[in-house]
């Protein structure tokens, strides 16, 4: 209980759908300093308390190009059969991605349900490439070029989209977008309760 209370105090509210910050492109980080270290700490603390598998800087009101991925959370919750179906070559990851750039996408696609902490109560199937190649800096500013597959690749793509002002609902077919339009209005209006801190757009 003390750990949860401590994390809650350190966690930042998730920026909700409707806030313009989620539609802005993030800026590259050129130097590692105390502000960057604090951003990474805030991302991890906020992700932990919200129970998500990934979180990008714009979701905590920062325009720096960084996100964290914790796909181990999903891996640990799945049975053996499901793990084999959606994970490939890893047991989930817990990584920091700074200035990430996706260099290549596979032709093979995967279509499973996604949600977003910034858009609570909406889940839709999203088609994404199964394999990607990513170039990124880790938390120590060491450059990597690495291939990811399956569910882990999906989470990376989702968070990478956030740093480019793109949301998962942008990938939906027109009919699906129409089906969730009323729920999106409710999110904008701050009418969707969450079990994690969230910051809805203030009404003018």
Per-residue pLDDT of the chain (204 residues; tens, 9 = 90+): 444 455 556 799 999 999 999 999 999 999 889 899 999 999 999 999 999 999 999 999 999 999 999 999 999 999 999 999 999 889 999 999 999 999 999 999 999 999 999 999 999 999 999 999 999 999 999 999 999 999 999 999 999 999 999 999 999 999 999 999 999 999 999 999 999 999 998 765
Structure confidence by residue, pLDDT tens digits, 151-198: 999 999 999 999 999 999 999 999 999 999 999 999 999 999 999 999
For residue 6, what pLDDT is reported? 56
Catalytic residue among 41, 77, 147, 159: 159
Domains of the chain plus CATH, in order, are 2-199 (3.90.45.10)
Using DSSP, state whether 88 is helix, strand or coil. coil
For residue 201, what pLDDT is reported? 84
Q: List, in order, residues 6 or more apart from 186 with CB less than 8 Å away.
A: 121, 192
In the chain, what percentage of residues exceed pLDDT 90? 90
- The reply to whether 159 belongs to the active site is yes
Contact 118, 167 (CB under 8 A): yes
> What is the Cα–Cα distance from 104 to 122, expressed in whole angstroms?
29
For residue 10, what pLDDT is reported? 79
- Count of positions (residues) in the chain: 204
At residue 22's C-alpha, the angle toward residues 38 and 11, to 5°, is 35
Largest Cα span, the chain? 50
């Amino acid at each position: 209980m003390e750990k949860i209370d401590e994390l809650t105090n350190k966690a930042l509210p998730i920026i909700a759908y409707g806030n313009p910050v989620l539609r802005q492109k993030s800026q590259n980080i050129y130097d590692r300093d105390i502000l960057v270290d604090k951003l990474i700490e805030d991302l991890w603390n906020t992700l932990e308390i919200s129970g998500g598998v990934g979180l990008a800087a714009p979701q905590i009101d920062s325009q720096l190009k960084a996100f964290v991925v914790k796909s181990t959370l999903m891996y640990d919750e799945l049975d053996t059969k499901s793990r084999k179906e959606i994970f490939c070559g890893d047991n989930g990851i817990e990584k920091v991605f700074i200035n990430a750039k996706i260099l290549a996408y596979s032709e093979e696609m995967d279509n499973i349900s996604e949600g977003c902490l910034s858009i609570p109560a909406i889940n839709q199937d999203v088609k994404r490439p199964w394999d990607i190649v990513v170039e990124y800096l880790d938390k120590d500013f060491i450059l990597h070029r690495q291939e990811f597959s399956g569910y882990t690749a999906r989470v990376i793509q989702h968070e990478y989209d956030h740093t480019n002002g793109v949301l998962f609902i942008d990938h939906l077919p027109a009919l699906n977008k129409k089906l969730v339009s009323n729920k999106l209005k409710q999110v904008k209006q701050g009418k969707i309760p969450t079990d994690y801190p969230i910051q809805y757009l203030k009404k003018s």
